Structures are given as structure tokens and as C-alpha cells.
């Protein structure tokens, strides 16, 4: 079955960067978009962008442009999301989610808690 397994929790200082990984199994990694979504405490979910693992093409939400980079390593079926210049309001649970049908997310990772604190 489809599984997305994310890397563990991170604690970062303001101004630092974080890179979260998402290892896919149970399907052809290069055949589906991978999205990244975050949820800050007490906030709703926020779409950050997607990467197509076959081409490496990306599309980022305007809010994160310039600070986020999504990459992939197809040889290990893993997608990555790096967020730079971290601020306290970047503290959130970050999810990877497989895109399906061009319009929804049919499998999700378990989430990675990123805490930004001095």
C-alpha cells in the first residue's frame, strides 16, 4: 500500500534552515505530484507547493517563494522540502501529501514537527 514516511522532529533557531524528507513506497514515485502542507498551532492547514518527481518541476505558494525549495531523489523515492530563514511563526507540523487526480491528496505522511525557538 502507499506509504509516505517523513523524517523526525526538528528544533531550529530563528534564521536557520530546515530540510524535511518524505520517503515514498508502494507506488511509482515518479508518477505522482508530491505536495507539502503545513499546520501551525491553532491555525488551519496551508499549502506550500508541489514538486513533480519525474521532471523536478515545482510550483510554490506565493507566500513561500524565495524561502522554500522542493527537491527529490528518485533513486530513493524521497522528496524533500527545505525552508530557509526560519521564524517563530514557521513552527508547525509539515506534511507531505501525494497529489491525485490533479485536485486532491490521496495519501499523507505522518507529519514532521518543526519548532523554531531561540
- Quick check: helix, strand or coil at residue 8? coil
Nearest to 99 by CA among 59, 44, 51: 51
* DSSP state for residue 85 in the 8-state scheme: S
Residue 113 within binding range of other proteins, rule CB under 8 A: no
Residue 95 within binding range of other proteins, rule CB under 8 A: yes
Contacts (CB under 8 A) with other proteins, residues 45-84: 45-47, 59, 61-62
Which of the stretches 7-15, 24-32, 84-92, 99-107 binds other proteins when contact is defined by CB under 8 A? Answer: 99-107
Q: How far is the CB of 62 from other proteins (least distance, A)?
A: 8
CB-count burial class (<10 Å; 0-12, 13-18, 19+) for 4: buried
| Cα 14 from Cα 97, distance rounded (Å) | 26
Contact (Cβ atoms closer than 8 angstroms) between residue 77 and residue 33: no
Q: Nearer Cβ to other proteins, position 16 or 68?
A: 68
Which of the stretches 8-16, 17-25, 69-77, 94-102 binds other proteins when contact is defined by CB under 8 A? Answer: 94-102
Residue 89 within binding range of other proteins, rule CB under 8 A: no
* DSSP state for residue 86 in the 8-state scheme: -
Q: Which residues bind other proteins (CB under 8 A)?
A: 4, 35, 37, 43-47, 59, 61-62, 95, 97, 100-111
Amino acid at each position: 500500500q502507499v506509504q509516505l514516511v517523513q523524517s523526525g522532529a526538528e528544533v531550529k533557531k530563528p534564521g536557520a534552515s530546515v530540510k524535511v524528507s518524505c520517503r515514498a513506497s508502494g507506488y511509482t514515485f515518479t508518477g505522482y505530484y508530491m505536495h507539502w502542507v503545513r499546520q501551525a498551532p491553532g491555525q488551519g492547514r496551508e499549502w506550500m507547493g508541489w514538486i513533480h518527481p519525474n521532471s523536478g518541476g515545482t510550483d510554490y505558494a506565493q507566500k513561500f517563494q524565495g524561502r522554500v525549495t522542493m527537491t527529490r531523489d528518485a533513486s530513493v523515492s524521497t522528496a524533500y522540502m527545505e525552508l530557509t530563514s526560519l521564524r517563530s511563526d514557521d513552527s508547525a507540523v509539515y506534511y507531505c501529501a501525494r497529489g491525485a487526480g490533479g485536485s486532491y491528496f490521496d495519501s499523507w505522511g505522518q507529519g514532521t514537527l518543526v519548532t523554531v525557538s531561540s
